[in-house]
Amino acid sequence: MLIELKWDKSAESAIRQIKSREYLSVLKDYEDNVLLIVVNYDRDSKRHECVIKTEKVADTLRLPFGRGQK
């Protein structure tokens, strides 16, 4: 499980950040699903947004050339 907390951003931008920065690379040998939980808090409206997704670790990582990418 990975939890990302944001402040005045969007939950979807946090999901993109998790993937682009490869936060799950420490779990590269883990073959099951991982739960991604992202919570954004908007300080002006005092509301929060939450996104929960399951993903395969390999689907969030950029594979080295020759291992599935062209």
Q: Cα separation of 14 and 46, whole Å?
A: 19
Q: Cα separation of 12 and 67, whole Å?
A: 27
pLDDT(66) > 80: no
Question: Which band of pLDDT confidence, cut at 50, 70 and 90, is reported for residue 65?
Answer: very low
Q: Cα separation of 14 and 12, whole Å?
A: 5
Tokens describing residue 30: 């883990």
Is the separation of the CB atoms in 8 and 42 below 8 Å?
yes
**8-state DSSP, 45:** T
Q: What is the pLDDT averaged over residues 5-25?
A: 90
Domain residue spans in the chain?
2-60
